[in-house]
Structure 1
């Protein structure tokens, strides 16, 4: 984005940040009833059972159904959030992964709006940061977040998920034909806002509605990745100011354009201040891969802040891609996906090179740790420059073709490859990054011997630990890999 456009966006943000203030009527519709845990048997088990060895880490996985009533919201002509339909009955499901022994619980719960882009529940932030959760003793709750993914659950196990419902509360003769928020003709995706609020509130409450009742919950954080990250921005801007349930937000790779509040809502234009993360007293960390920066054009940038009523960080990570190889290894089994009516798509991209292995999950792990420290102790996390762009808005790259600026890491500052944030064709590979390894001659020219590579790589890694960009366990894994690599060949 050009500097002029960037300045205009900042002026809009600072001048009309109050546009999204909610109206008095815009509050959650009520508490939830909890059903479960739903038994897993030889013939029926939850969809998207974790492929991580939970028992080996002292964790258990449980599925629950949550029942309640939710409002449907929209913006009025003045930009305020108002209720358009109230008290719609719903039944939804959540997945809980927690320490088996409450003494191993660290007091933190991460609640994820599970990604719905593929029309089945994808626990993308769990796939990204489960190592961090398991190391720390964090409980994880994944929330089914769209009517279309409920349809996939019913296809997977019609009996187990028969009761789930996101019925459109609008009378049949008055319903719109929109499909926003992954809705259908008879369902309303806008119920997600109160569902998400009510699940967070239940986790803080005492009693039978809490799926981890008896655990000493201190902080509950909201997270989401990709389209779910875009949902989370709409939730944070429109619903959170009155709900005030979540103690912090980690927004991952928000993509797919701005989300409306209901399936019949008018689209919110991209260049609208309601799409920029509004100031809030609860800490917010937004991590954007280079793919998402590339797609967004930098519009959603806003200044970092450390004031009492505005705690915000934006981390743009050059070299990273929206979709990459690490998380694919933890996806649901092909058999379960087939039962739900899907085939996992391993993209066949035409660009030369390899599917990117840029380990952005390490930075997400550190961001989760930083968010927790910020919310608990008031310790602000580090700041980072933005990805560099020229006067035309094009990303500035170094002599190796890697982007400059942003969160600096050894994979770009001591590189062995050029990292691209997207691949061709755009229809199937636009979110899939790829890498072109340096040929042997270039490797030898840049790194005459192994020490010329390993020493600066390890030094850069240690700097990241000191500044809070990497956790110690992740840094040790990175250093071990560098020390034992064959570079330069």
Structure 2
């Protein structure tokens, strides 16, 4: 239950963590950013068995959490779409990756975005950023007298265990926080911060670990009678970069619990669901073992897009967006490319996410499902198969892959000890790199830059017709391709 919503003031010197106003100049685009604290109580749940069923373990634990809202200044400019992102906490910093990937489409469409803090491990960095602003945030464990049934040091040696275990807080408070916020946004209650906006459709999204949160939410919570209240909590879902061998425990005491593998994917969903994966996840992390086929069944409305060329992190989504932010440098948490290669992977996956969100919105509003796309071809070990140029075969492609001027890799060589996934590895499987073809090879393939432009323009028009690229993004994609070709010596 949410008891109170409090709006925080924003000034030139006191503003939200990783504010989008700084990175996206929202106010110049007719948008505004606001930040709120939500005060309430939440149940903590426990699993009944290995499958999706849960029950209440502890009732009405108090909390104080935060969320940010980005929406049109003029309510009449609002589309009626409200997108709630489960903000990614994996790096111990609030990374609103789905905003980063989708905000251009949100802004031109007039959509409202909400980002909710999903895990208390990020509060420490927010306190470093601005202690006075965030000191009241609280996710206190309602049962601190109950010890973990495992040694934390031993648990951290296991695969798929993230190093953020802390008996003083309880991650399992999140499920009710999310549900209660969603129903508040749908309501006409006075404390609803979106009361002035039309709110026709509500969507849930999440990236990477947060995609896994979304899987668990849909599987274990969204259809519980006390949650759904006879209708859908959310009208549609979109996940990005889901790590399919990571199952989110329903509370932190269940960290080492044996769960059914089906909780790492969506088993059934009555509302439209689009999952977007990159080359970093499509075969790795057991994705190829847990893959579901596209479906238009009433109890499984599902599409999977695998974006060929893209890695989990890219220069655009993980480095350039933050613009060398002095605030993040001050707290020693500025995202950077750690690979040994000259150019980190900068495949423009944001263009495909824009189309995926547009397809989801259309699917929900009209009931017309989007097109299917090919899957990336993998071998018997789940590794991506490559074409003659060294790029992955199949998948959701663009002119950058159909008429390549370079090779896109989803893994980088790094110094041992720098990988977040495996400290003993000299490979980073989350952030790849790109290699340029020689100018001579480009001339042999395409002749000159004008012929190349014709080829990639026709290819992009085909992808627009299939709904995989928005018409508004065509010129940007073509200019990215032309810019790379020129840089690599095609004249």
What's 2:387 paired with? 398
* Equivalent position to 2:6, from 20, 32, 35: 35
Change (3 A) 1:156 1:451: closer
Measured after TM superposition, the shift of residue 249 of structure 1 is 0.8
What's 1:132 paired with? 105
Measured after TM superposition, the shift of residue 78 of structure 1 is 6.1
Change (3 A) 1:404 1:333: closer
- Secondary structure, in 3 states, of the residue corresponding to 1:418? strand
What's 1:75 paired with? 47
Provide the C-alpha distance between the structure 1 equivalents of 2:258 and 2:409, rounded to a whole number of angstroms.
Answer: 28
Q: Gaps spanning 5+ residues in structure 2: where?
A: 156-160, 420-427
Query: Could you tell me whether the CA contact under 8 Å between 1:65 and 1:92 is conserved in 2?
Result: yes
Provide the C-alpha distance between the structure 1 equivalents of 2:391 and 2:469, rounded to a whole number of angstroms.
Answer: 21
What's 2:301 paired with? 311
Change (3 A) 1:349 1:261: same
Provide the C-alpha distance between the structure 2 equivalents of 1:200 and 1:337, rounded to a whole number of angstroms.
Answer: 30
What's 1:189 paired with? 171
Query: Could you tell me whether the CA contact under 8 Å between 1:258 and 1:268 is conserved in 2?
Result: no
What's 2:158 paired with? none
- Secondary structure, in 3 states, of the residue corresponding to 2:216? helix
Measured after TM superposition, the shift of residue 31 of structure 1 is 3.8
Provide the C-alpha distance between the structure 2 equivalents of 1:268 and 1:175, rounded to a whole number of angstroms.
Answer: 12
Query: Could you tell me whether the CA contact under 8 Å between 2:399 and 2:481 is conserved in 1?
Result: no
Provide the C-alpha distance between the structure 1 equivalents of 2:214 and 2:293, rounded to a whole number of angstroms.
Answer: 19
Q: Does 1:44 align with 2:14?
A: yes
Paired residues, number: 457
Map 1:230-379 to 2 at 5 A.
230-242=212-224, 243=227, 244-255=232-243, 257-267=246-256, 272-297=261-286, 298-327=288-317, 328-331=319-322, 334-339=325-330, 341-350=331-340, 352-379=341-368
What's 1:488 paired with? 490
Provide the C-alpha distance between the structure 2 equivalents of 1:467 and 1:386, rounded to a whole number of angstroms.
Answer: 15
Change (3 A) 1:208 1:333: farther
Measured after TM superposition, the shift of residue 372 of structure 1 is 0.4
- Secondary structure, in 3 states, of the residue corresponding to 2:280? helix
Measured after TM superposition, the shift of residue 117 of structure 1 is 1.2
Provide the C-alpha distance between the structure 1 equivalents of 2:468 and 2:83, rounded to a whole number of angstroms.
Answer: 20
Q: Report Cα offsets for 1:383-419 as digits up to 9, x if no partner.
A: 1121112344432211001111111221111111111
Q: More displaced, 307-316 or 235-244?
A: 235-244
Q: More displaced, 324-333 or 263-272?
A: 263-272
Change (3 A) 1:122 1:462: same
- Secondary structure, in 3 states, of the residue corresponding to 1:282? strand
What's 1:85 paired with? 58
Query: Could you tell me whether the CA contact under 8 Å between 1:112 and 1:223 is conserved in 2?
Result: yes
What's 2:475 paired with? 476
* Larger relative contact order (CA 8 Å, sep ≥ 6): 1
Change (3 A) 1:260 1:78: closer
What's 2:423 paired with? none
Measured after TM superposition, the shift of residue 247 of structure 1 is 1.0
Measured after TM superposition, the shift of residue 420 of structure 1 is 0.4
RMSD: 2.1
Map 1:442-457 to 2 at 5 A.
442-457=441-456
Give TM-score scaled by structure 1 length.
0.88
Q: Gaps spanning 5+ residues in structure 1: where?
A: 1-29
Measured after TM superposition, the shift of residue 160 of structure 1 is 1.6
Give TM-score scaled by structure 2 length.
0.88
Provide the C-alpha distance between the structure 2 equivalents of 1:269 and 1:330, rounded to a whole number of angstroms.
Answer: 38
Q: More displaced, 322-331 or 424-433?
A: 424-433
Provide the C-alpha distance between the structure 2 equivalents of 1:65 and 1:399, rounded to a whole number of angstroms.
Answer: 53
What's 1:109 paired with? 82
Measured after TM superposition, the shift of residue 203 of structure 1 is 1.1
Q: Report Cα offsets for 1:12-70 as digits up to 9, x if no partner.
A: xxxxxxxxxxxxxxxxxx3452111x112354222111111111110111010001111
Provide the C-alpha distance between the structure 1 equivalents of 2:132 and 2:378, rounded to a whole number of angstroms.
Answer: 53
